[in-house]
Amino acid sequence: MPGVQNRTALITGTGAADGIGFAIARVLHAAGARVAITSTTDRIFDRLRELGPNGTFATTADLTKPDDVARLVTEAEAALGPIDILINNAGMVQTGRKQKRSTLANATDAAWDFGLDINLTQVFRLTRAVLPGMIARRYGRIIQMSSVTGPMVAIHGSAIYGTAKAALTGMARAVALENGPHGITCNCIGPGWIATGSSSAKEIAAGKRTPAGRPGTPDEIAHAALFLAAEEASYITGQLIVVDGGNTLQEMKGG
């Protein structure tokens, strides 16, 4: 099966060695894709060395800045060719910027603006940037990293995050509807409790209360992304694929 062989993929939020974004980059590269990766800090070049020099590209970019978004797409395409696959993984937090949890009633305008910018607006900008080329070539795979938080459930103190992640599903449906005739699909992945280097002890404990009995791994999210990014996933679009070990099926979480 062709899968993602000889396709160019751009994956954001790939700076952490033990994060979801870099796991996706590794899996797609191993499957034969050319891979462009980015994060806000120079640690992205450590990830590039881990991937190796063949069919890879890395640069730093602050995706809350429109000029950085444009530069990222231009440089990635110059290095690896037109972008066939976009995986908007960056979000939740940005290195060097602290974000306090807050109820909606206590949220500031600044917190709202930043939360939507980092989780939603940057996705809009990158998706908009790659769509014209995909339309012209009549092919594209766009994957938005949403969450179960927002589209399906809520967490106290995460109103802004949940709002942005729910909005990604609406954006995906619109992109799917508008661009289906051009051979472009757009889907969301909704991770549950995934064990990464930034997971708290409470999050790991919550993962152990899923039906699967453990948190998920970044590689399990990566293989879902690989499936949606493949040529063979051509009839799946506008969907939210939940990868949560069955956690959202439970009304009563284990004690």
**Closest to 15 measured CA to CA, from 122, 92, 129, 117:** 92
Report whether pLDDT(88) > 90.
yes
What number of other Cβ atoms are within 10 A of residue 227's Cβ? 17
What pLDDT was estimated at residue 154? 95
Residue pointed to by tokens 């899968």: 3
Would you state the structure tokens that stand for residue 172, as one six-digit string?
């995906």
* Over residues 232-241, mean pLDDT: 98
Q: Residues with catalytic annotation?
A: 161
Would you state the structure tokens that stand for residue 123, as one six-digit string?
């996705």
Name every residue whose Cβ is closer than 8 Å to that of residue 82 and which is 6 or more positions away in sequence. Answer: 8, 133, 137
**Closest to 27 measured CA to CA, from 77, 87, 75:** 87
Evaluate whether 26 touches 47 at the Cβ level (below 8 Å). Answer: no
Instruction: Give the separation between CA 183 and CA 101, rounded to whole angstroms.
Output: 40
The single-letter code of the amino acid at 147 is: S
Instruction: Give the separation between CA 213 and CA 210, rounded to whole angstroms.
Output: 5
Instruction: Give the separation between CA 227 and CA 41, rounded to whole angstroms.
Output: 29
Strand 85-88 vs strand 184-191: parallel, antiparallel, or unpaired? unpaired
Model confidence at 236, in pLDDT bands (50, 70, 90)?
very high
For the entire predicted model, the pTM comes to 0.95
The single-letter code of the amino acid at 32 is: G
Domains assigned to the chain: 8-243 (3.40.50.720)
What number of other Cβ atoms are within 10 A of residue 42's Cβ? 10
What are the tens digits of pLDDT across the range 171-230? 999 999 999 999 999 999 999 999 998 899 999 999 999 999 999 999 999 999 999 999
Cα separations in angstroms, 69 against 72, 139, 159, 200? 5, 21, 26, 30
- DSSP label at residue 94: B
